[in-house]
A = this chain, B = another copy of it.
Amino acid sequence: MTLLYPPQLTEARLETLVTEINDFQLTHGSLAKLTHVGQGHTVLAQPVGVSCFPTVWPRLCYVQAVKLQQAFNRLYASIAEDPAWLQALLTDLIDSDSFIQRLWRIHEHVEQEGYAQRLSLGIFRSDYMLNKRRPSGQIQDAELKQVDFNTVSVTGGTQGNIVAAMHEHMQLIGAYGFDKAQTLRWMDSVPPCDTVNSVLSGLTQAHLSYGPITCKAAASLAILMIVQPGSVNICDEKPIEYGLWDHNPPIPTFRLEFGGSVLAQTSLASNRALLYQPPNQPNKLYEISVVYLRAGFEAEEYDEIGTSARLELERSRAIKCPSVLTHLATLRRVQQALATPGALTRFLSPEDAACITETLVPMYPMDKSRRGMKARSLATNPVTAVDYVVKSSVQGGGRNIYRGDIPAFVRTIPKNKSKEYTLMKMIEAPEVHGTLTSPQGFYKGPVISELGIFGICLWRKKQGGHGAYIVTNKNAGWSFKTKSTEVDDMSIAKGYSFFDTPYLLDEEDDRYEDSGNGVSCSSSEGDFF
């Protein structure tokens, strides 16, 4: 059977599908909060951008990513408990980057005092794209390449889960117009998604592992979710809270804004139990079992107050998700170091190291080392630069400089700042077609997807402070995002990227054919409506 995919719908049917999608989103919280004017109680919401159909992805690459996750979890837990290695790696950034410096000083402070909690929780997401093995490569024989490993404030689990359910529903109601054979094939090709429940099970286990209340003044244990002030991403965050409250017995969970609110509404007991006083329950004190950060990941949040808040949280007995060291392990510099031949065997068995290495993309520091000099020559030469991206050593996101823009950009970097950047080989994704919809419009054309595999890891710092004893190491679902090939950035918040579901292609699917979605395949540009 030839698989012509994605399904080619008439304009009228596509419009019906989009209405069904919007309605599903409104009724299931697949929304972005637009505004919140405090006094006026005005809240407006709009559907988040989504793909109309699941997008093809090789089954082998999906399975490979799923299988790798627990090795990645172990790797990052081990890095987080290897402060000496981290310090050596980050030493110049600690000196030059005030954000990293503040985080490192917090760690140093707590290390000196002695960590009050040896357990750490990681809710991780490893992001992958597909890379063509040959310039003319088909998607079926693309290879899996890691883009990022996220250890702090991992988002999109809830939203991704809702969109997976949405696609499932669209198939169920026949909105894709599949015949029986196509329906059977769908069932075998679209993996189930349970990201929210998996994240909940991780938080629940950490909560239960905290042990009994240690502070007599506290009435109960609770989880504290630290959020950004005025977060518009509440549809991704709140269902986690609801799920914990719906646990039997309920796990009290409170939102608290990063910064001054942390200092105002929490305090440390003499044994460093973190005590929280909810504003709506003036007489009730909770002892915090888990601090779950959905904030504190941006440099701008670390003014003096933000820094003090993070310090207090880190000093506390609460289990941190993540700890400061786990947070630091997400830096691009760490990813770059791990891509250096031989680096992984410090943390992993040779077998695991080999499997992980396969997914790493060539990355170069832009410092004065031999690899740094090579990076400089690749980046300044317009011919080679087009295969690369320059990223900050600190974080992913908006600061990336792509391809042809690199040579000019590199010339503007002061010499003493160049080590704050990483040169990374661009991933050349095979071209497939997709149909994306958002309140801003409608896109039909070539697309690129990114698979995020979630992992949960609970570990205990070994006696002596070096090394991680793994308590729990699990996969925790996935999210999948798709964007037009015309944008390089995968940001959901900026509206470039759309939640999606993978449609898994088998290796022997040589009869799969990109339907082009009504757009000529030879065209490299999609149509915006």
The reply to whether B45 and A26 form a contact with Cβ atoms under 8 Å apart is: yes
CA distance A467 to B24 in the complex (A): 41
The reply to whether A245 and B172 form a contact with Cβ atoms under 8 Å apart is: yes
Question: Is A63 interfacial (CB-CB < 8 Å)?
Answer: no
The reply to whether B47 and A22 form a contact with Cβ atoms under 8 Å apart is: no
Interface centre among A12, A176, A234 (most CB of B within 10 A): A234
Q: Which residues of B contact A42 (CB under 8 A)?
A: 46, 439
Question: Is A31 interfacial (CB-CB < 8 Å)?
Answer: yes
CA distance A9 to B27 in the complex (A): 30
The reply to whether A41 and B442 form a contact with Cβ atoms under 8 Å apart is: yes
Question: Is A397 interfacial (CB-CB < 8 Å)?
Answer: no
The reply to whether A174 and B284 form a contact with Cβ atoms under 8 Å apart is: yes
CA distance A192 to B25 in the complex (A): 27
Q: Quick one: closest B residue to A178, CB to CB? A: B281
CA distance A19 to B238 in the complex (A): 12
Question: Is A409 interfacial (CB-CB < 8 Å)?
Answer: no
Question: Is A211 interfacial (CB-CB < 8 Å)?
Answer: no
Q: Which residues of B contact A254 (CB under 8 A)?
A: 173
The reply to whether A242 and B29 form a contact with Cβ atoms under 8 Å apart is: no
Interface string of A433-459 (1 = CB under 8 A from B): 000011101100000000000000000
The reply to whether A41 and B234 form a contact with Cβ atoms under 8 Å apart is: no
The reply to whether A177 and B282 form a contact with Cβ atoms under 8 Å apart is: yes
Question: Is A96 interfacial (CB-CB < 8 Å)?
Answer: no
A221 to B: closest C-beta gap in Å: 14
Partner of A279, one of B12, B18, B24, B234: B12
The reply to whether A16 and B279 form a contact with Cβ atoms under 8 Å apart is: yes
The reply to whether A45 and B31 form a contact with Cβ atoms under 8 Å apart is: yes
Interface string of A214-250 (1 = CB under 8 A from B): 0000000000000000000011001100100100001
The reply to whether A439 and B242 form a contact with Cβ atoms under 8 Å apart is: no
A108 to B: closest C-beta gap in Å: 36
Q: Which residues of B contact A135 (CB under 8 A)?
A: none
Q: Which residues of B contact A40 (CB under 8 A)?
A: 441
Question: Is A278 interfacial (CB-CB < 8 Å)?
Answer: yes
Question: Is A97 interfacial (CB-CB < 8 Å)?
Answer: no
The reply to whether A26 and B284 form a contact with Cβ atoms under 8 Å apart is: no
8 further A-B pairs in the complex, CB-CB below 8 A; given A22-B36, A27-B29, A41-B437? A24-B238, A26-B29, A26-B235, A27-B238, A44-B44, A44-B45, A173-B245, A174-B284
A residues near B (Cβ < 8 Å) are 9, 12-13, 15-19, 22-29, 31, 33-34, 36, 38-47, 169, 172-177, 179, 234-235, 238-239, 242, 245, 250, 252, 254, 278-284, 437-439, 441-442, 529
Cβ-closest 7 pairs across A and B: A27-B29, A174-B281, A22-B43, A27-B238, A175-B280, A23-B234, A45-B45
